[in-house]
Structure 1
């Protein structure tokens, strides 16, 4: 068996290409099943987000597995296989495990250390489990990856420092006020950056939020989408006297908030401090406006300094996480190697217990007058003999799991004891044939 990860991501394809190869939520279940029915595929999980479409698969052969995965993607999106090959990166074995661990912990994301991908991986895995395209390998590996990512986030600062301008804007408000869940916020503008700022405010517990925009309908649409308030741009002076936080992001060629406007409203202000964050280029807020008492004004250059410093902190945390990945890969490999040993040990025990049971049947026939107590004593001692005899062979079998020639030596082990054990590969293949057979018979 081989683990393979085929990835289309922000490094291998631009957004226009990534849009062409994204599975929507309705299609992901049938896509998993369709891939599972493909030749060479023994287990699979499909991840599809705005920044990546990835196929994780356990395959019987690397080359055929890679080909059939790429062909599956090409057919799913009506593209040529060559087009898919050009935009995919393929990792195999340990590199595939490392890729999964880095993706799950946010080290491979556009925004380093973002935590949303962990939920997306978990969801992709659960969907694959629901449609029964995972098996022994992935049921263990994906749980390991999810646990690893949670631990990485808890034990490092990878996700604690803002590295996007809109997120940094909200974090800057927290630095001034400490707690902002009880504050009133105003967002000027209704574009993508404004929506991201809105989502970050909501995520920080702010509930009293008003959106204003030059086109009122756009402010209304965004406000209704996220269940907040909206108002006209004409209401801006009045709102400045009421709110605590202002985040502005418009495409205006002129200042939206001027010094004169704020001076006029200074006597009307209900709250002590006003934090104004200008993430627009060109700027929406007149420079040096923070000369007004208790007004704190920041622009994109101020935020950039914060973002750069925070990115360095995340990069240090990322290095910590990267250093712990080899141990995870080794643990996974040890577990996989033991998969080949466990059936052998089971087969050996089953053969030994069959011999013990046959021996007890023979004793019952030859000594029919045994009492129940005598029979139990004989059965207990024969089992003890078997366990003592099996102790060293089982120990040797376990040690073979880490041997370079483990497959060859395990085969010799089975020949010596005249046993036959089904390995994980054969088990997966049999289960797959059984499931596909059920699907075909149902159809």
Structure 2
């Protein structure tokens, strides 16, 4: 039976930020949801990916479980009326389309900022969760390792990963445009997850000299401060640091907004204060913009900024697509071979069973030397007999006609019966 790889996707292409943040899963939720899927759907090779731009589930099954997956996602997030959000999801039920989609996502072709480098690590992390939860089979192992190898080729052979055109760098470019008229602007970064840490590294390489960072875990903040030469603000002194800052960049991971209208209204903003919210769910309450002088930019406002790095990446897209096509072709060759391997093994077992039965009929009449010679001759015959069907089966794979030949061989040699007897 050929694999039927599928995907359920909710991404920035169809779903606005307020919908994406409703559905977004943190690491613990992703791990728990993996286990839920294992318990409630008949599927293998399950992968759960959730970033600020997308929440996706990939799985292998003969059945379409897309609606069940969305319902389970709703239960996981405590959303009773999840069905009203179905139109925001994209259902990919064609095997080739699902494989192509995962390649495009993992390479950054499908990212909001083309070539976003963070997505590669996020896919690796999602794969590790699948491995940890024993949700990854041989198919997913091979697929993901092919993707990782493809990513290396993209890095080595193209300019698609050159420069810094990620979401975090787009945030830096936004900061530069916002404070262009401010002398020695003060920047405060709150929350040091992957995106927050990347923003700090970009700030280190920029002309900004007055950058402070804050994190609930002070030790983590201090490590990053030492790496980037930044100042650490104790979390209990955050409000005071916010009063001084011209720009507050937030990548805090939590279910409810951290920066509320009530909190910010106490800052007595005299000129302008900019909040850049990189979190999903949002960590900055949208109502903050009702406060005079306060402007909020969320993840959806950080669009494709014109930069040389981005232009180089866009120019490299055709080459990246070519590399992906080559990798998919190689992967599908392996996948098809793997799909016919059980049939080949059943055929070998069936013929070996016949050989053993016939050998047993004559063994008592043969000397030890004759029996040894007979064993060698019959094994050689079996190998020659099976060689042509195996070659024909593999050739049928390449033509996409394996299913028909598998059915013929199964009926001809009663392979289902052979398999059942082997397991009885």
**TM-score of the superposed pair, with normalisation by structure 2:** 0.68
Pick from 407, 414, 421 the counterpart of residue 418 of structure 1.
414
Question: What's the CA shift for 1:223?
Answer: 6.4
Structure-2 residue corresponding to 1:199? 201
Instruction: Measure, in 1, the Cα distance between the counterparts of 2:414 and 2:28.
Output: 50
The answer for the alignment partner of 1:335 in structure 2 is 334
Distance 1:160 1:422, change over 3 A: farther
Match of 1:242 in 2: none
Cα distance in 2 between the residues matched to 1:343 and 1:217: 56
Structure 1 unaligned blocks of 5 or more: 172-185, 233-247, 255-281, 283-303, 427-443
- Pairing 1:69–2:69 present: yes
Match of 2:45 in 1: 43
Q: Equivalent residue for 2:154?
A: 152
What is the match of residue 253 of structure 2? none
The offset of 1:45, in angstroms, is 0.9
* 1:362 and 2:361 are equivalent in the alignment: yes
Give the total of aligned pairs.
Answer: 335
Task: Check whether the contact 2:159–2:316 (CA below 8 A) recurs between aligned residues.
Answer: yes
Which is worse superposed, 351-360 or 189-198?
189-198
Tell me the residue number matched to 1:190: 188
Instruction: Decide which of 371, 375, 379 is 2:375's aligned counterpart.
Output: 379
Q: Distance in 2 between matches of 1:375 and 1:137?
A: 42
Q: SS state of the match for residue 23, structure 1?
A: coil
- Provide the rounded CA distance (Å) in 1 between the counterparts of 2:312 and 2:101: 22
Q: TM-score, normalised by structure 1?
A: 0.65
Distance 1:312 1:379, change over 3 A: same
* Residue of structure 2 aligned with 1:136, choices 135, 138, 143: 138
Select the structure of larger CA radius of gyration: 1
Change (3 A) 1:22 1:340: same
Whether the 8 Å CA contact 1:6–1:66 is kept in 2: the answer is: yes
Helix, strand or coil: the match of 2:45? strand
Residue of structure 2 equivalent to 1:301 = none
Partner of 1:226: 224
Higher relative contact order (CA 8 A, sep 6+): 2
Query: Is the contact between residue 49 and residue 120 of structure 1 (CA under 8 Å) also seen in structure 2?
Result: yes
1:397 to 386, 393, 396: 393
How far 1:225 sits from its partner (Å)?
7.2
| Counterparts in 2 of 1:24 and 1:195: CA distance versus 1, 3 Å | closer
Please, which runs of 5 or more residues in structure 2 have no aligned partner? 174-183, 234-245, 249-268, 273-292, 294-302
CA distance in 2, matches of 1:231, 1:138: 42
Query: Does the CA-based 8 Å contact 2:221-2:232 persist in structure 1?
Result: no
Report the CA distance shift for 1:55/1:169 in structure 2 as closer, same or farther (over 3 A): closer
Give the secondary structure class of the aligned counterpart of 1:16. Answer: helix
Report the equivalent of 1:406.
402
CA offset at residue 409 of structure 1?
A: 2.7
Aligned to 2:89: 88
After superposition, where does 1:1-150 map in structure 2 within 5 Å?
Answer: 1-62=3-64, 65-79=65-79, 80-92=81-93, 93-150=95-152
